């Protein structure tokens, strides 16, 4: 019995959804990516890794989620509607 992509990804962190939320907030606040990185407390390289869907340090991920005033769970596959 094979699993669907949604089954495989269920509960996994969706970095691309995080990036989309960061970008929406950045635009709404009229900020540059450098300003967002500084305010969040992460490096520009961490923001780039987020955009590319790459691995992130837990501290950086949590700082971004906090900046958005969201929960980590809201960025898991299945919660984001991006299965």
Is the pLDDT assigned to residue 72 strictly greater than 80?
yes
Q: What is the pLDDT of residues 5-52, one digit of tens each?
A: 444 445 688 888 899 999 999 999 999 999 999 999 999 888 888 888
Helix H, strand E, coil C: the string for 4-49 is CHHHHHCCCECHHHHHHHHHHHHHHCCCCHHHHHHHHCCCHHHHHH
Q: What is the architecture of the domain spanning 11-75? A: Orthogonal Bundle (1.10)
Alpha-carbon distance of 77 to 13, in angstroms, equals 6
Whether the predicted pLDDT of 80 surpasses 60: no
Q: What is the pTM of this model?
A: 0.76
pLDDT for the residue numbered 62: 93
């Amino acid at each position: 019995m094979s699993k669907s992509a949604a089954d495989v990804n269920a509960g996994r962190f969706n970095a691309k959804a995080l990036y989309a939320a960061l970008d929406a907030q950045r635009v709404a606040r009229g900020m540059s990516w450098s300003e967002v990185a500084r305010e969040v407390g992460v490096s520009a390289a961490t923001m780039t890794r987020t955009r590319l869907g790459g691995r992130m340090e837990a501290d950086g991920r949590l700082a971004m989620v906090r900046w958005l005033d969201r929960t980590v769970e809201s960025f898991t596959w299945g919660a984001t509607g991006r299965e």
